[in-house]
Amino acid sequence: MGEAINLLNNFKVEKVIFNCGPHNNLENELIKVLDKKKIKYYSCIKELTIDDNKLSFLQTKECDIDEIKTGATIQNPASWKIMERFGFVKLDKTKMVEYTYVDEPVEDYQYYITKEMYFENKNNLSMRKK
């Protein structure tokens, strides 16, 4: 989303599709550019047909998930830095997790985020981009 305006300025874009729900500050800035360039945009679509291909969107309304609990392997700093960047809270405990692509269990940091925390962080991230 942060590079969307750059894409609009460097590529031919005919239409833009937003997720459902209220627009954040970054999306509102994008909408100003879309309006100026007279590019159509849509939200909450259920299906999209491109040539002979039909795409169905699962998220047709706001998510009903109140909390997400997940992990990021300690050996992969990029994973846990992303988790923390998006507002996930790292718990004090770790957990051994078996992955299909690794021979032995690996230690994961454990994270959680609530819906309210996610939306607060999402809005904060979009305000920092200005």
Tokens 């200005």: give the residue: 130
The answer to whether 67 and 114 are in contact (CB under 8 A) is yes
Predicted local confidence at residue 34, as pLDDT: 94
Instruction: Domain of residue 39: give its range.
Output: 4-56
Considering the domain boundaries, does residue 105 fall inside one? Answer: yes
The pairing of beta strand 106-114 with beta strand 89-97: antiparallel
Most distant pair of Cα atoms in the chain: their distance: 54
Residue 8 lies in a domain: yes
Residue 26: both structure tokens together: 């970054």
- 79 and 38 co-located in one domain: no
Q: Which two tokens stand for residue 107?
A: 């230690």
CA 124 – CA 86 distance, rounded (Å): 10
Question: Token pair 């925390």 is at which residue?
Answer: 117
- Report if residue 62 sits inside a domain: no
Question: What is the tally of structural domains in the chain?
Answer: 2
pTM metric for this prediction: 0.44
Helix (H) or strand (E) holding 106: strand 106-114
Residues 73, 116 within the same domain: yes
Name the domain boundary from 32, 56, 80. Answer: 56
Residue with token string 């997400």: 68
Give the domain-ending residue among 18, 33, 56.
56
Reading the block at residue 119, the tokens are 């939306």
Distance CA 106, CA 94 (A): 10
At residue 58, the pLDDT reads: 62
Statement to judge: residues 42 and 10 lie in one domain: yes
- Which residue stretches of the chain have pLDDT < 70? 1-2, 58-64, 122-130
Question: How far is 10 from 128, CA to CA, in rounded Å?
Answer: 23
Give pLDDT, residue 130: 47
